[in-house]
Structure 1
Amino acid sequence: MQTQHCPICRLEVAVQPRYPRYVCAECAAKAMSQDGRRLAFFNTDVGGGYAAIYADTKQPYSGHECFIDGIRCHADEARFGGIVIELAAH
C-alpha cells in the first residue's frame, strides 16, 4: 500500500501523485506571511480561482508564498478546484 506523509508534521495523508509535497489540513491552517500574519486561502468561485487574505483584517494577500512552522511553502489553486499548499521548491 502506498503512503504519503505531510512534509511538515509527518502525519499520514491521502496519496496525491499530482501533489507529492502537499501539507496536511492541520499544517495548512497555520500558514503565515513572511511577516508572521496568519493567512487564509480560498477559491474565488465554485469554478476555482485562487485568492488569499490576511486572516486578521480580511485584506487581500497578493502572494502565493507562505510559511508553516518557519518552512517556506507555496499555495495555489488545486486541479479541479480547492487549494493546495506544498513545500516550496528549493
Structure 2
Amino acid sequence: MTADGSGMPDGTHRCPICSDPLELWPRHPRAVCGLCKHEVTDEAGRPLEFFNTSLGGGFGARYADTGEPRDSHACVIRGVRCRADEGRFGGIVIEVIDKVP
C-alpha cells in the first residue's frame, strides 16, 4: 500500500509533489497523490475543497473553512501551483502546472 491507501504501483511513477509512488494515469500524468490533495489551498493559504456537483459529474469548489463557493480551478499544494478539474469518469483530479522546486 502507498501512504494514501491506494494499491502499490510498480514504482515508476511518483507524485510530482511528495514523490509517493502512484499508479500512472496516462490522461493525467501530473496528478498528485491522495495525501497531497488534502493539503490544497488557495493562493493566500486558505484551505479548499473540490467536488462533483452531481452524480453525473460537474466541478465545484469551495473554501473548506466556511463553505463559501470559489469560482476557480487554481490551487496551491506546498507552494506549487496546481489545477483541479473533473476527472474523465467523475471524481476530482488535481494536477501540478508548475515545475516542482
TM interval, shorter chain, is over 0.9
Q: Does 1:82 align with 2:52?
A: no
Q: Is the 8 A contact 2:80 2:98 kept in 1?
A: no
Q: Does 1:73 align with 2:82?
A: yes
1:6 positional shift = 0.3
Partner of 2:58: 49
1:19 counterpart letter in structure 2? H
Q: Is the 8 A contact 2:61 2:69 kept in 1?
A: yes
Judging by fraction of residues, say which structure has more strand.
1
Partner of 2:17: 8
What does the per-residue CA deviation read over 1:8-30, in whole Å, with 9 as the maximum and x for residues that have no partner?
00000111000000000100110
TM-score by length of 1: 0.94
1:60 positional shift = 0.4
Determine the C-alpha separation between the residues in 1 that align with 2:44 and 2:98: 20
Determine the C-alpha separation between the residues in 1 that align with 2:79 and 2:97: 12
Q: Is the 8 A contact 2:87 2:93 kept in 1?
A: yes
Identity of aligned residues (%): 50
What is the number of equivalent residue pairs in this alignment? 90
- CA RMSD for the aligned pairs? 1.3
After the TM superposition, which segments of 4 or more aligned residues of structure 1 sit over 4 Å from their partners? none
TM-score by length of 2: 0.84
- Give the unaligned 5+ runs of structure 2: 1-9
